[in-house]
């Protein structure tokens, strides 16, 4: 009986996997088309706000996909598919090029771009990135690459030499979603990093109790002692912003200030730091 139940579960599991694979396969095909077509893929920008002055110091580029029948598809859904299907390189280059084209029009603003593990693992990636900088005229000092800790687990050598090459050009490196990985602290001593981005899970709990306050406080002290800056992401309330500013986070990012917005809106935001917009992209 137990065996039969196990078998049923196995069948069910198999069916689910089948469906998932088919969906993945379908998304992959649609994404492939989107990369060729015009207008489905775009880049949204979320302001990065200095905690002390409330000035907009830059923006994070976030890819957006509007499918002709599905509508808006979340990056959480299609980035993993892009990674396993080999489309991430092309998608990543698209985002990087768009972000750099935008960045050259706003000298002095920091433009942050997310880089997937698969991209960083490719030894050809640094040259590809440098050629986008040349082609667009983007200053490396204004570019920041956001990488996640998982990147660094599998291919330490390739990752390390890429990060070193980027920093030699003046590009900055941020560790995204910091504090959620297995060995966050290990990365800080092994890799050249300019900034940590404290994960929104810590920020969300800031007003609930003292544990997250103590953790953020410790992370900020540690980062500053190592000459790194700190960004807090997912800031949604003014109470969170107040606490994070008091804890000496350098930069804040979140819906409290703005959702990710389109290029025209971020340009207006850059021109006029206090520009109030509630639009979503
Ligand atoms: P991330 O890099 O950690 O980006 C932050 C995510 O949090 C974004 O979701 C952003 O819209 C969302 N967010 C910002 N402020 C708030 C807030 O106050 N509250 C809440 N609840 N969420 C907030 P998004 O755009 O859906 O992106 C999700 C993830 O997908 C990103 O996480 C990043 O890992 C990945 N991603 C997005 N664009 C790209 C890209 O161009 N390339 C790569 N490789 N990954 C990307
Ligand atoms: Mg990010
Ligand atoms: Mg993040
Ligand atoms: Mg994330």
pLDDT tens across the length of the chain (281 residues): 555 555 566 666 677 767 776 788 999 999 999 999 889 999 999 999 999 999 999 999 999 999 999 899 999 999 999 999 999 999 999 999 999 999 999 999 999 999 998 898 899 999 999 999 999 999 999 999 999 876 566 667 888 899 999 999 999 999 999 988 766 787 787 778 999 999 999 999 897 677 899 999 999 999 999 999 999 999 999 999 999 999 999 999 999 999 999 999 999 999 875 545 444 44
* DSSP of the chain: -HHHHHHHHHHHHHHHHHHHHHHHHHHHHHHHHHHHSSSSEEEEEEEEEETTT--EEEEEEEEEEEETTTEEE-HHHHHHHHHHHT-HHHHHHHHHHHHHHHHHTTTT-EEEEE--HHHHH-TTHHHHHHHHHHHHT--GGGEEEEEEHHHHHH-HHHHHHHHHHHHHTT-EEEEEEETSSS-HHHHHHHS--SEEEE-HHHHHTTTT-SHHHHHHHHHHHHHHHTT-EEEEE---SHHHHHHHHHTT-SEEESTTT---B-HHHHHHHHHSTT-------
Centre of ligand 3 from the C-alpha of residue 197, in Å: 7
Q: Which ligand is nearest to the CA of 174?
A: 2
Ion ligand 3 neighbours, Cβ < 5 Å: 176-177
Centre of ligand 2 from the C-alpha of residue 60, in Å: 7
Rounded to whole angstroms, what are the CA distances from 165 to 121, 150, 169, 172, 190? 14, 20, 7, 11, 15
Atom of ligand 1 nearest to the CA of 83: 44
- The pocket around ligand 1, CB under 6 angstroms, is made up of 46, 62-63, 74-76, 79, 92, 95, 114-116, 146, 176-177, 200, 233-236, 254-255, 260
Q: Please tell me the pTM assigned to this model.
A: 0.91
**ipTM (interface predicted TM):** 0.98
Atom of ligand 1 nearest to the CA of 236: 18
Closest residue by Cα to atom 12, ligand 1, is: 234
Closest residue by Cα to atom 24, ligand 1, is: 75
**Pocket perturbation via mutation, ligand 1, pick of 42, 47, 72, 79 by most ligand atoms within 8 A of CB:** 79
């Amino acid at each position: 009986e137990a065996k039969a139940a196990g078998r049923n579960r196995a069948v069910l599991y198999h069916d689910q996997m089948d469906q998932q694979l088919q969906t993945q396969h379908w998304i992959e095909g649609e994404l492939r088309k989107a990369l060729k077509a015009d207008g489905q893929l775009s880049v949204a920008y979320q302001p990065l706000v200095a905690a002390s002055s409330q000035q907009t110091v830059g923006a994070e580029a976030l890819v957006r996909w509007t499918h002709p029948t599905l509508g808006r598809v979340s990056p959480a859904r299609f980035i993993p598919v892009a990674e396993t299907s080999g489309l991430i390189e092309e998608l990543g280059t698209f985002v990087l090029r768009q972000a750099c084209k935008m960045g050259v029009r706003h000298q002095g603003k920091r433009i942050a771009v997310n880089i997937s593990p698969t991209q960083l693992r490719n030894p050809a990636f640094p040259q590809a990135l440098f050629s986008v900088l040349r082609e667009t005229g983007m200053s490396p000092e204004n570019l920041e690459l956001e990488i996640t800790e998982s990147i660094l687990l599998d291919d330490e050598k390739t990752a390390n030499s890429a990060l070193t090459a980027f920093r030699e050009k003046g590009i900055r490196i941020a560790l995204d979603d910091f504090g959620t990985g297995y060995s966050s602290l290990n990365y800080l001593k092994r890799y050249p990093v300019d900034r940590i981005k404290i994960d929104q899970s810590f920020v969300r709990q800031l007003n609930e109790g003292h544990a997250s306050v103590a953790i953020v406080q410790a992370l900020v002290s540690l980062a500053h002692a190592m000459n790194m800056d700190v960004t807090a992401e997912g800031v949604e309330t003014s109470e969170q912003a107040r606490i994070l500013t008091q804890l000496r986070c350098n930069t804040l990012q979140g819906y409290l200030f703005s959702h990710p917005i389109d290029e025209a809106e971020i340009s207006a935001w850059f021109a006029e730091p206090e520009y109030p917009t509630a639009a979503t992209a």
